[in-house]
Amino acid sequence: MDLHLRVWRQAGPDQPGAFEEIEATDVSPDMSFLEMFDVVNEALLDEGREPVAFDHDCREGICGSCSMMINGQAHGPERGTATCQLHMRKFSDGDHITVEPWRAAAFPVIRDLVVDRSALDRIIEAGGFINAPTGSAPDANLILVPKEAADTAMDAAACIGCGACVAACPNSAAQLFTAAKASHLGLLPQGQPERYERVVAMVDTMETYFGSCTNHGECEKACPKSISIDFIALLNRDYVKAQFRDFRLAGRSR
């Protein structure tokens, strides 16, 4: 099939950008969206033109690199699917497709469809880890974990850090990302000692770079791993608990 692409082109962070019309011909319905761009870039190179810059790595829906707004939707029209897993059979011959980078102040454009998502790394650096010395790997089932907690932690840990939640949110909020990263640690026994310090550090860092959540729910719909906004409620609950906990500790020290 043949497609008409309208792709955002921007030479650098400080350069003006604009949409460019590109024709994609002989596209196989079995191609992924990224494979379609591979073919397009080969054609552009053959014509002596600059290829479209875009992020990719594993192409298996795990790394979170394939960040594109496709016809105004993060990762495209299919729910629970990363761009690298989106197949061209979801489109029709002759379709017009607009492709843009993530649009958020915290994600400045580096080039074309590539954005700087290091603001998400700052949140992880603030608390997305466990300091407790665990020694060598313990025997299986030595630490008992309730099945509900284990299953919920695994649901949160499915976050691939792509930033689709930020790009889809009208406020460019990162609550779903932060909630998933904090929850998958805080729900497990190993994460309990630092649970509240972690939440405060991550939320305070998040607020430095991103907007605030007002419960639009677009983040859940855009997430390629369909992570529930229930984790945002858990994050908010832990943050409030941390404030009261710190208040009580401060009162005891006086």
- pLDDT tens by residue, 43-87: 999 999 999 999 999 999 999 999 999 999 999 999 999 999 999
Q: What is the pLDDT of residue 142?
A: 79
The stretch 176-196 carries a mean pLDDT of 94
Nearest to 67 by CA among 176, 160, 179, 184: 160
Reported as a single tens digit per residue, the pLDDT across 208-235 is 999 999 999 999 999 999 999 999 999 9
Which residues make Cβ contacts (< 8 Å) with residue 146, sequence separation at least 6? none
**Could you tell me if 120 and 210 are in contact, meaning their C-beta atoms sit under 8 angstroms apart?**
no
CA distance 160 to 151: 17
Mean pLDDT of the chain, nearest integer = 93
The average pLDDT across 149-155 equals 95
Predicted pLDDT at 136: 79
Where do the domains of the chain lie?
A: 3-111, 117-253
Pairing of strands 17-24, 3-10: antiparallel
d(CA 252, CA 250): 5
Neighbouring C-alpha atoms within 13 Å toward the C-beta of 211: 18
With CA atoms as reference, report the closest residue to 39 among 91, 9, 2: 2
Contact 82, 160 (CB under 8 A): yes
Domain 117-253: give its CATH code.
1.10.1060.10
pLDDT value at residue 205: 97
223: helix, strand or coil: coil
Strand ranges inside the chain, DSSP E: 3-10, 17-24, 69-70, 73-74, 96-100, 109-111, 114-115
Q: What is the pLDDT of residues 231-248, one digit of tens each?
A: 999 999 999 999 887 655
Token couple for 94: 């002759």
Distance separating alpha carbons of residues 84 and 106, to the nearest angstrom? 23
Residue of higher predicted confidence among 243 and 170: 170
Check whether 150 has a pLDDT greater than 60: yes
Architecture category of domain 3-111 in CATH: Roll (3.10)
DSSP annotation of 211: B
Helix axis angle, 195-209 to 175-186, nearest 10°: 170
Backbone φ, ψ for residue 221 (5° rounding): -70, -35
Residue 138 has pLDDT above 90, yes or no: no
Q: In which band, very low, low, confident or very high, does the pLDDT at 105 lie, cut at 50, 70 and 90? A: very high
